[in-house]
Amino acid sequence: MHTERTLARLDAAGWSLIYGGLFALALGIASHGKTVIGGWSLGIVGVLAAVAGVVLIVVRARGTPPEPPHR
Per-residue pLDDT of the chain (71 residues; tens, 9 = 90+): 678 888 889 999 999 999 999 999 999 999 988 899 999 999 999 999 999 999 999 988 887 776 777 77
CB atoms within 10 A of CB 62: 8
Task: Provide the whole-model pTM.
Answer: 0.84
**Helix (H) and strand (E) counts for the chain?**
2, 0
- Note the pLDDT of residue 1: 60
CB 27 within 8 A of CB 42: yes
With CA atoms as reference, report the closest residue to 42 among 53, 56, 31: 31
Which residue segment(s) compose the domain that 40 sits in? Answer: 4-62
Query: How many domains are contained in the chain?
Result: 1
CB 68 within 8 A of CB 1: no
